[in-house]
Amino acid sequence: MVGSLSNLFMKRSILIPGRAWTAGFLLLLLHTPLVAQVQNLQRWDGKQLMLNKVWTRLADVFGEEGSIESVEFSPDSRYLVSGSKFDYTVIVWRTSDGAEIWRQTLPQEIERVAWSPDGKIVVSCSEDFMLRFFDAETGELLKEIKEAAGIDGLTFSHDGRYLVSGGEWVPGENGGRAGYATVYAMPEGRMITQLNLGDTINEVDFSPDDAYLLATGHNETAMVWKTSDWSLVHTLRGLDADRFHFITGRFSPDGQFVATGSQNGEIYLFDMKTGSLVHHFNQSGRKIEVLAFSPDGRFIATGGTDPFLRFFRMEDILSGERVYTALQLHAGDQAEYLDFNQRGNLMASAHQDGTIHLWVVMTDDPSVNRRRHQMVREYQDQSMQSQP
């Protein structure tokens, strides 16, 4: 029996975050007395952060020669939408089993996709300068808006009042460059204003209360504007601003911080109130394509031009000391986009090999199961009380 299990483990690799379990270690474990095994396993008691893969789907038919630039959950987490770079498709998938619900093929590559906050509309932006609005249930094309350049960034405000696109660079004044975040009033799609970052905009993001708008892209700064009058509030700069550009940026869920990822792998955390740099660190030395806060604000997840997804604890970043990797997971190919669902128990990743992955986020918070059971008991009690 031990021999057969030994052969099995020699053929498989098991990765537990923070600890590599090699075949040799597993063989040693098989030959270790049960008491010793239990003592070792108690060090990992289910309270360590993990990602468990649910499914993988090919979302760009060209596979390794393709790329998925964006993936996003619907507000109710029941669906995902993806946008592909080389087969030009917008696809809506069912979260539970990865079944394809509908797809639309467009004339050029899709850089971003987004759901409206009410879940009724899917929007895509493309290299053909077009914003396209689809019925989220049927895939029917409802509306198109043409801009003056290719579009890389896209987001809705949380209240659904605004849609913002991030444009690629266009010639600016005095031989320079301009790159505009274009703000539209929804649902009519009327343009309100354009905000100039100074170069191509990769990412746009609203603060949780929709009071501020952040833009990051192919220049040395990230900018924050106040949505009440669209005035500039902060111009954020990294330590190597003369050499490395910010690529991505997000507000923290409590709105107190802005995190940015840069071309050289540097991650910066800024105080939103003052615009001052809180901390910075670099674990990969490789371009950060995307970062995302977990909805509870405890982690920053990153992906970029290596095959790993990484999680970092906010408490470590805020300590000002060395930041350790809370989780590093080989995801197969470099990540172009990450998105958590609203509850934070699921995460989707989009990759350059044309695939999207769905992950269950296994938190290291030991109170999760207790709180969930308490919620179920309260719901059951309320249901019983409401019965005649």
* Domain locations in the chain as residue ranges: 1-45, 50-368
Question: What integer pLDDT is reported at residue 201 of this predicted model?
Answer: 96
Q: How far apart are CA 94 and CA 161, in angstroms?
A: 27
Question: What integer pLDDT is reported at residue 85 of this predicted model?
Answer: 93
Which stretches of the chain drop beneath a pLDDT of 70?
A: 1-47, 241-243, 368-369, 372-373, 376, 379, 388
Q: Dihedral of CA 13/15/21/26: which sign? A: negative
Question: What integer pLDDT is reported at residue 251 of this predicted model?
Answer: 98
Q: How far apart are CA 338 and CA 356, in angstroms?
A: 10
> Is omega for the bond preceding 208 within 30 degrees of 0, making it cis?
no
Query: Which is the CATH superfamily of the domain at 50-368?
Result: YVTN repeat-like/Quinoprotein amine dehydrogenase (2.130.10.10)
Q: How far apart are CA 136 and CA 126, in angstroms?
A: 18
> Which residue has tokens 């192919």?
218
Read off the amino acid at residue 261. Answer: G
The predicted model scores a pTM of: 0.84
